[in-house]
A and B are shown apart, each in its own frame.
Chain A
Amino acid sequence: MSMYSASKTVAFPQSAEEGAAFAGRPLSLPTWFLASGTALFATAAWIGFGLSCLLWKDLGDWSRTDALAIAAFIIAGGILAATASGKWLGRFGTGLQARAPWLLAFGLFLTLWEIATAKFAWLPLPFFPPPQAIIEVYTDDLPKLLDSVFASVKLQLGGYAIGAAAGFLTGVSIGWSRSVGYWVHPVLRFIGPLPATAWLPFAFFTFPSSWSASTFLIALATGFPVTVLTWSGVASVSNAYYDVARTLGAKPSFLVLKVAIPAALPHVFVGLFMGLGSSFAVLVVAEMIGVKAGLGWYLQWAQGWAAYSNMYAALIVMSLLCSGAITLLFRTRDRLLVWQKGVVKW
């Protein structure tokens, strides 16, 4: 069985990297075209996007159409140049080759979007702005957008840090001490499952400022999953580890800090991940309702003024921030948990 497949596998490149090495050899022009075909189509798609900006007149009044077309041509040129010099670019070239289908799809999507909105208004216009309208937001409304990003990040970081720390400490205490568990567990069961947003009215009249109220809510949303998963992580540590440590002379503090906590860490990270997700939801709601700053507030404001391009622009930024936060968390986990086999890639 294996003999047959072995003779087959020799002929074809098995991965993108091998594929690139394949393309890097001195090849005849048609073979080169086959190997980098997708990248060439991607170039064409981006040229098409640029042309679609210029060929027809805009239906609305947007100032960045020509700039967008130039940017599209530059990107197209970049893809072409990188493909032609692929073998000198090393890892970057390989990465580009692997992402060529995505570049193609994105170019096609932008072309379609441009035509369907700015040029023929197949999608109703104020609600579906063209790409250049969103670019315009990023260039013309940048200070306000940056202020909002800064406010959101500040609020989120504070609340998340407090919630994660409190949840971790509570979780370890419940998992470790029976008497703490006796008192805290029922409270946790009663309060924990309540969505943090249900506390909004209470929080906004109890706390001195809307900022501290929102911090409390974000901390609450983060704290519950972190507590539960830290607790279950500590509780599920095998007794054999404690036996080993005890026979080697470990004191209780050593058992908590050097056995229970490191063993529970994989669970803790699941809790931190879940907490991050639910805290995003609370952040946006809190900003929309109470806090007069941040991306949630910006969204609300944009919608109120029917500034739909601002809304989309803010949504894109928000998505990048949330995704970036999760990437950061996963990177941290991968660094701390190198000892684990087969961790999920984000």
Chain B
Amino acid sequence: MVALAPAERAAPAVAGASLDVEAVSHAFDIDGATLPVLDDISFGVKPGEFVALLGPSGCGKSTLLRLVAGLEPPRSGGLREDGEPITGPFPSRVVVFQDPTLFPWRKVWDNVALGLEAQGILKHQRHRVDAAIDLVGLSTFCNAYPHQLSGGMAQRVALARALVNDPKILILDEPLGKLDSLTRITMQAEIASLWQRSGFTTLLVTHDVEEAVFLANRVIVFSDRPARIKVDIAVDRPYPRHRGDPKLAVLRRNILGLLGLDATW
């Protein structure tokens, strides 16, 4: 493990929670054989930090996010949110998945309202739904059905559906992976400014090195499956960042080297 620099940033009002991943190992049983996925992963995330998890495709990053979300318990080790063990899903940790997975039978407004409705507090909190839809700029599409939205709009709705819960940890599982490159660039900037304004802790799984160094103040690089932490790099650049920043370019090149891909760059 190479820790290049301590992660620091001028934080706004910190609304995020800390996250501790302690010696987590995980495996899947496939046809009787055990397939190890995560191998002794430990790291901590400070409140309000933006951490990107980078690694080769299929290395187990998304599995780690499922464990953080509480959708599955780990085989060994433990996870803590603000010091409390994570035992199941809770709306303080919400996930935006690679597919928007909007409920096709619900209109945009009702999709965003899902979390508040599930928690039984929608009746008195309807303004929060409107605010979240406003935040992602889709107020005019409240009454649209998901099949009427473009990919980028659908992913914005998914983002609003997560943000309406005022999460302490926002878990982003390659949320921009399937978008076209222009929409992706726009939404990267939106995510960065949303995170800066609200101060939640963010965990982003991505395989896009540029996205990782542009958004995060820490990039954790994983090895092939079973995933181990290869390196934990601080991205010590102020926000708002610029894609052309030469320091980010150097960082990007270093990380591509760690992934064995620097030859083509």
- For the complex, is A245 an interface residue (Cβ under 8 Å from B)? yes
- Asked if A244 and B91 sit within 8 Å, CB to CB, the answer is no
Q: Kindly specify which of A198-206, A217-225, A258-266, A302-310 makes contact with the partner chain.
A: A258-266
Q: Which of B95, B103, B114 touches A243 (beta carbons < 8 Å)? A: B95
Which residues of the partner chain A approach B104 to less than 8 Å between Cβ atoms?
Answer: 339-340
- Asked if B105 and A245 sit within 8 Å, CB to CB, the answer is no
Report how many residues on chain B are interfacial, defined by Cβ distance under 8 Å.
27
Give the residue name and chain of the A residue nearest to B161 (CB). A248
- Asked if A262 and B105 sit within 8 Å, CB to CB, the answer is yes
Instruction: Give per-residue flags for B140-156: 1 if the beta carbon is below 8 A from chain A beta carbons, else 0.
Output: 00000111000000000
Q: How many pairs of residues, A versus B, come closer than 8 Å at their CB atoms?
A: 67
- For the complex, is B28 an interface residue (Cβ under 8 Å from A)? no
**Known A-B contacts A262-B105, A338-B145; A247 and B89 likewise in contact (beta carbons under 8 Å):** yes
**Known A-B contacts A240-B97, A243-B95, A338-B145; A249 and B118 likewise in contact (beta carbons under 8 Å):** yes
- A263 CA to B95 CA, complexed, in Å: 21
- A254 CA to B71 CA, complexed, in Å: 16
- For the complex, is B211 an interface residue (Cβ under 8 Å from A)? no
- For the complex, is A150 an interface residue (Cβ under 8 Å from B)? no
- For the complex, is B43 an interface residue (Cβ under 8 Å from A)? no
- Asked if B101 and A244 sit within 8 Å, CB to CB, the answer is yes
- Asked if B117 and A258 sit within 8 Å, CB to CB, the answer is yes
Which residues of the partner chain A approach B165 to less than 8 Å between Cβ atoms?
Answer: 248-249
Which residues of the partner chain A approach B255 to less than 8 Å between Cβ atoms?
Answer: none
- A169 CA to B167 CA, complexed, in Å: 36
- For the complex, is B69 an interface residue (Cβ under 8 Å from A)? yes
- A107 → chain B closest CB, angstroms: 44
- For the complex, is B175 an interface residue (Cβ under 8 Å from A)? no
Q: Which of A238, A247, A258 touches B94 (beta carbons < 8 Å)? A: A247
- For the complex, is B239 an interface residue (Cβ under 8 Å from A)? no
- A258 CA to B122 CA, complexed, in Å: 14
Q: Which of B66, B94, B147 touches A248 (beta carbons < 8 Å)? A: B94
- For the complex, is B93 an interface residue (Cβ under 8 Å from A)? yes
- A8 → chain B closest CB, angstroms: 32
Which residues of the partner chain B approach A262 to less than 8 Å between Cβ atoms?
Answer: 103, 105-106
**Known A-B contacts A247-B91, A247-B95; A254 and B105 likewise in contact (beta carbons under 8 Å):** no
Chain A, interface residues (CB within 8 Å), range: 20 to 34
Give the residue name and chain of the B residue nearest to A250 (CB). B118
- Asked if A243 and B118 sit within 8 Å, CB to CB, the answer is no
Which residues of the partner chain A approach B99 to less than 8 Å between Cβ atoms?
Answer: 240
- A196 → chain B closest CB, angstroms: 32
- B105 → chain A closest CB, angstroms: 5
- A40 → chain B closest CB, angstroms: 44
- For the complex, is B55 an interface residue (Cβ under 8 Å from A)? no
Give A262-294 interface residues, CB cut-off 8 Å to B: 262-263, 265
- A74 CA to B175 CA, complexed, in Å: 67
- B161 → chain A closest CB, angstroms: 7
Give the residue name and chain of the A residue nearest to B88 (CB). A246
- B142 → chain A closest CB, angstroms: 15
- A182 CA to B3 CA, complexed, in Å: 54
Give the residue name and chain of the A residue nearest to B158 (CB). A244
**Known A-B contacts A254-B118, A339-B147; A247 and B101 likewise in contact (beta carbons under 8 Å):** no
- A249 CA to B69 CA, complexed, in Å: 11
- Asked if A249 and B91 sit within 8 Å, CB to CB, the answer is yes
- Asked if A248 and B115 sit within 8 Å, CB to CB, the answer is yes
Give the residue name and chain of the A residue nearest to B146 (CB). A339
**Known A-B contacts A243-B95, A247-B91, A248-B118; A341 and B101 likewise in contact (beta carbons under 8 Å):** no
- A249 CA to B93 CA, complexed, in Å: 10
Which residues of the partner chain B approach A238 to less than 8 Å between Cβ atoms?
Answer: 101
Known: A247-B93, A248-B94, A262-B106. 12 other contacts (CB 8 A): A241-B101, A244-B114, A246-B89, A247-B95, A248-B115, A248-B161, A259-B103, A263-B103, A265-B105, A339-B145, A339-B146, A339-B147
User: 6 shortest A-B CB distances, which residue pairs?
Assistant: A248-B115, A250-B118, A249-B91, A249-B119, A262-B105, A246-B89
CB-defined A-B contacts under 8 Å, sample of 23: A240-B101, A241-B101, A243-B66, A243-B101, A246-B89, A247-B93, A248-B114, A248-B118, A248-B119, A248-B165, A250-B118, A251-B118, A258-B117, A258-B118, A259-B103, A262-B103, A263-B105, A265-B105, A339-B104, A339-B106, A339-B145, A339-B146, A341-B147
